[in-house]
Amino acid sequence: MTSVTPEIRQRVERLRQQLLKANYAYYVLDNPIMEDSVYDRLYRELQDLETQYPELIVPDSPTQRVGDRPASQFTSVRHNIPLYSLENAFSLEELAKWQERWQRVVPDIKQVEYVCELKIDGNALALTYENGVFVRGVTRGDGVTGEDITHNVRTIRSIPLRLHLETPPPIVEVRGEAFLPLDEFDRINQERAQAGEPLFANPRNAAAGTLRQLDPKIVDKRRLKFFAYTLHLPNHNTLKSQWEALEFLKEMGFAVNPNCKLCQSLKEVEEYFQYWETGRRTLPYMTDGIVVKINDFQLQEKLGFTQKFPRWAIALKYPAEEAPTIVKEIAVNVGRTGAVTPIAIMEPVHLAGTIVQKATLHNSDRIAQLDIRVGDTVIVRKAGEIIPEVVRVMHELRPPDSQPFQMPTHCPECGSQLVRLAGEAVTRCVNSSCPAILRASIVHWASRDALDIRGLGEKIVILLIENGSIESIADLYDLKPEQIASLERMGTKSAENLVNAIAQSKEQPWSRVLYGLGIRYVGSVTAKLLADNFPCVEQLSQASIAALESVYGIGAEIAESVYDWFKIPANQMLIRRLQAAGLQLASTSTSKGDRPRALAGKTFVITGTLPTLTRDEAKDLIEKAGGKVTGSVSAKTDYLVVGEKAGSKLEKAQQLGITQLTESQLLDILQKS
């Protein structure tokens, strides 16, 4: 039997005292001091320790109280209109600050109407209707591209296959949330339990898994529902507000959440939020907050977007699931911008459906605010239910010998002195040769959304840096198979595959290269915006701050960052080396001498099995030549590419008199482009 150490005895006593205090506050004072989930976790920890060390059980332990609480594949498609994410607020104070921010942009406007909608905990979808008929359903994805799950979306009975309008607009795009009602979630998990299958962690995960089923019959059986909340009508100016748009969505046959409200002030918004914090418990579906939008569309247009979010909307979230755990270590991580981020390494804890062992501590200011130390019991939650963070320290459970944490004064990777610039909360390593910065930059360059170099993971990058093979992103394109084969656990075949993957990355488009450069504030969506407006690196590198800011969606912060990046000599040298290596530093149309692309403005549909090309390959060739590929035949279709076993699309094309092409005819056209 394991002996009881003083540390274990002390831990048990502190847990016991804290739980007794919580019991008193909850049952006697009717004023809880901790969440139920936190209480349960601490209770279970005490229970486990007492089971392991029964000699520590005492009659007044909370565990001894009588009656105490018991222990395939889908096609990736580009969205017609990007799906921006929303900024999150986690308190009414943050909501008020949001209002102050947008009022600074339009100082002449103080009083506005807001539309409040419940934030449904599901999966965002973009639905496209042509002439009133549903033609495409796409997941949110990264906001620019998503997965085409049209067949599955058709099974959702609250989504109309035809709009309830006598004269529908030519094109309508509707955004909304697909979700799984709670009774369906329970039913599905009961069936999975009986079948010995793993249970879904929550309704949102269940909805996501359902939408990605390859068999639409399974989707149909799971009875997903859908609430519409956004409407896009190109060249249609009759709707003046979000509230009118919601009413029009109802007219078109969509289910709109019945609990939305038009509010005349921020005070009414706060009352709505507070009401539903408890009222949501009675709803037949999950909601994790509310969405607040400025009602007037004209004002929305004036406010525009930051680099990530619309200024005219915000998500106000209810407190996320929280859990207690113990800090084992506080480490620091040096990122690709040199930012030194402290990280809490913790005992593993189950949180919002995942196992969490690390949580960001953001910066030295946050550490001082929390007064967090190794050995502390902390409460962890997922910020926005995505990124784990420490929200508070339970100082009552702190070990007596704990020591305050001090941020390092020198970089843990290169030894350079760290700096904290005026006006910034972040401590940085400013040594551009720092191995950590280089490592993170190359890992980012190889990531899926950037150059997508398969096989170039962090471990390989570390080995290549340590043996001196690479000192820059550009060095990747000089690597020889024998250099890689000499690395630990890398054979000749693996080395050849990696060299080939690096070579293939030269075909990635300009927007991905731009994202891969890791310019501060330039995410994948922003990189696409910049690449669309500055179709080659020469134009972007010579653009003024004013020219950059003139792009819709590009703010002053991004503009200054991009401008400054291209003025650094080392970055100019990197661009020259990447050009010499053959990377795509211009959009397709400009990289071929600005020749007009043969298929520009033409719309294609592909049907049947082609002799040599897959549909994705044919689609890629058409799009590179300037064409557009859609999933259904309409009067706007210019060409139908026909393979074997063509179905109803061929019949419809014949009825509409649309030109048909074989694969060889398509390739002939492409060769001339």
Q: Is 411 annotated as a binding residue?
A: yes
Q: Rounded distance, CA 49 to CA 578, Å? A: 58
Residue type, 108: D
Q: Rounded distance, CA 227 to CA 255, Å? A: 5
Q: Is 140 annotated as a binding residue?
A: yes
CA 435 to chain centre: 28
3-state helix vs strand vs coil in the chain, percent to 5:
40, 20, 40
Return all residues near 60 (Cβ < 8 A) that are at least 6 apart.
16, 20
Q: Is 36 annotated as a binding residue?
A: yes
Q: Is 564 annotated as a binding residue?
A: no
480 is catalytic: no
Catalytic residue among 119, 528, 619, 628: 119
Q: Is 429 annotated as a binding residue?
A: no
8 A C-beta contact, residue 183 and residue 284: yes
* CA dist list (Å): 633 to 306, 596, 629, 654: 37, 26, 10, 10
Q: Is 317 annotated as a binding residue?
A: yes
Q: Rounded distance, CA 348 to CA 356, Å? A: 6
Q: What is the DSSP string of 244-290?
A: HHHHHHHHTT----TT-EEESSHHHHHHHHHHHHHHGGGSSS-EEEE
**Phi, psi for residue 514 in degrees, rounded to 5:** -60, -45
Q: Rounded distance, CA 297 to CA 299, Å? A: 5
8 A C-beta contact, residue 666 and residue 602: no
Helical H segments across 606-662, by residue range = 615-624, 648-656
Q: Is 541 annotated as a binding residue?
A: no
Q: Label the pairing between strands 339-351 and 354-360.
A: antiparallel
Q: Is 293 annotated as a binding residue?
A: yes
Q: Label the pairing between strands 603-607 and 628-630.
A: parallel
Q: Is 86 annotated as a binding residue?
A: yes
Indicate which residues carry an active-site annotation: 119
- Binding residue numbers for NAD(+): 36-40, 85-86, 117, 140, 177, 293, 317
- Binding residue numbers for Zn(2+): 411, 414, 434
- Binding residue numbers: 36-40, 85-86, 117, 140, 177, 293, 317, 411, 414, 434
